[in-house]
Amino acid sequence: MMQTIMNAPEIRHPTLDLETQALLDDSRVREIDQQVRESWSELAAIAIRMRDRQGWKHLPQKYESFDAWLLESCPTCRATVYTGMGVFSVLSKDLDPKDIREMEIGNARLLAYEVSSSKVRRDPEVIAAAKSGRHTKALRETVKRKFPDQHLEDVVEKKLHFTSSQWDIIELAFNNYLQTDPKASLEVFFEAICAERIV
């Protein structure tokens, strides 16, 4: 880890003046941010191709399934890949891949699953809002203002912390729920459980 840090380009110039170093660091942070923002759609597109063409069967190492390949090839971001595959599949019917690539995954997910109209998804102002930043507020406000018939709601964010044993139970139940509703989010799953309890 220390070797990696010492080789990072922003660390290798200890003699630079503060202004030049700051400009280099600012530029690098923006470059990394863009790579992170765009990587979900590239990962999704590659995974869809590997799944649909069964590319995993043609690798030197043998895998029992696409899921087995994905688990080994990118264990750290596998959940992001699965989410991205669903989002990319929906949006690619309406949008240019370049536009999708410029969207952060939260905005892309909102556009795919909360906006039901292809016409709304293709609206230039909506696309611009979806590409405008990390948070969905600008996109949500744009759609609510221009297309109130989409009935977008505001979002209440809560941060939860589960023990590993709690999460094992929740994840199993969620995966079972996905059998009946493959596009469901964790939020939809929790709402469904709570609605059953109320009724």
Q: Between 5 and 166, whose confidence is greater?
A: 166
| Same domain assignment for residues 184 and 134 | no
pLDDT-based confidence at 146, cuts 50/70/90?
Answer: very high
| Same domain assignment for residues 94 and 149 | yes
Give the per-residue pLDDT at 78: 84
Q: Work out the average pLDDT over 70-93.
A: 90
Give the per-residue pLDDT at 183: 79
On whether residue 195 sits in a domain, the answer given is yes
When the pLDDT of each residue in the chain is averaged and rounded to a whole number, the result is 87
| Same domain assignment for residues 62 and 147 | yes
pLDDT digits (tens, 9 = 90+) for 120-140: 999 999 999 999 876 788 899
Q: Is the pLDDT of residue 155 over 80?
A: no
pLDDT digits (tens, 9 = 90+) for 3-47: 444 455 545 566 788 888 888 888 888 888 777 777 899 999 999
Structural domain span for residue 173: 158-199
Lowest-confidence segment of 49-63, 86-100, 178-192 by average pLDDT? 178-192
On whether residue 12 sits in a domain, the answer given is no
| Same domain assignment for residues 189 and 122 | no
| Same domain assignment for residues 109 and 187 | no
Model confidence, pTM? 0.67
Give the per-residue pLDDT at 59: 95
On whether residue 8 sits in a domain, the answer given is no
On whether residue 9 sits in a domain, the answer given is no
| Same domain assignment for residues 165 and 152 | no
Give the per-residue pLDDT at 5: 46
On whether residue 79 sits in a domain, the answer given is yes
| Same domain assignment for residues 88 and 132 | yes
| Same domain assignment for residues 39 and 122 | yes
Q: Between 163 and 136, whose confidence is greater?
A: 163
| Same domain assignment for residues 61 and 107 | yes
Lowest-confidence segment of 10-14, 72-76, 147-151, 155-159 by average pLDDT? 10-14
On whether residue 3 sits in a domain, the answer given is no
| Same domain assignment for residues 86 and 169 | no
Give the per-residue pLDDT at 72: 93
On whether residue 4 sits in a domain, the answer given is no
Query: In total, how many domains does the chain have?
Result: 2
On whether residue 27 sits in a domain, the answer given is yes
| Same domain assignment for residues 115 and 188 | no
| Same domain assignment for residues 38 and 107 | yes
Q: Work out the average pLDDT over 88-104.
A: 94
User: Concatenated DSSP letters for the chain?
Assistant: -HHHHHHSTTTS-TTS-HHHHHHHHHHHHHHHHHHHHHHHHHHHHHHHHHHHTTGGGGSSS--SSHHHHHHHH-STTHHHHHHHHHHHHHHTTTS-HHHHHTS-HHHHHHHHHT---HHHHT-HHHHHHHTS-SSSHHHHHHHHHH-GGG-PPP---------HHHHHHHHHHHHHHHTT-TT--HHHHHHHHHHHHH-
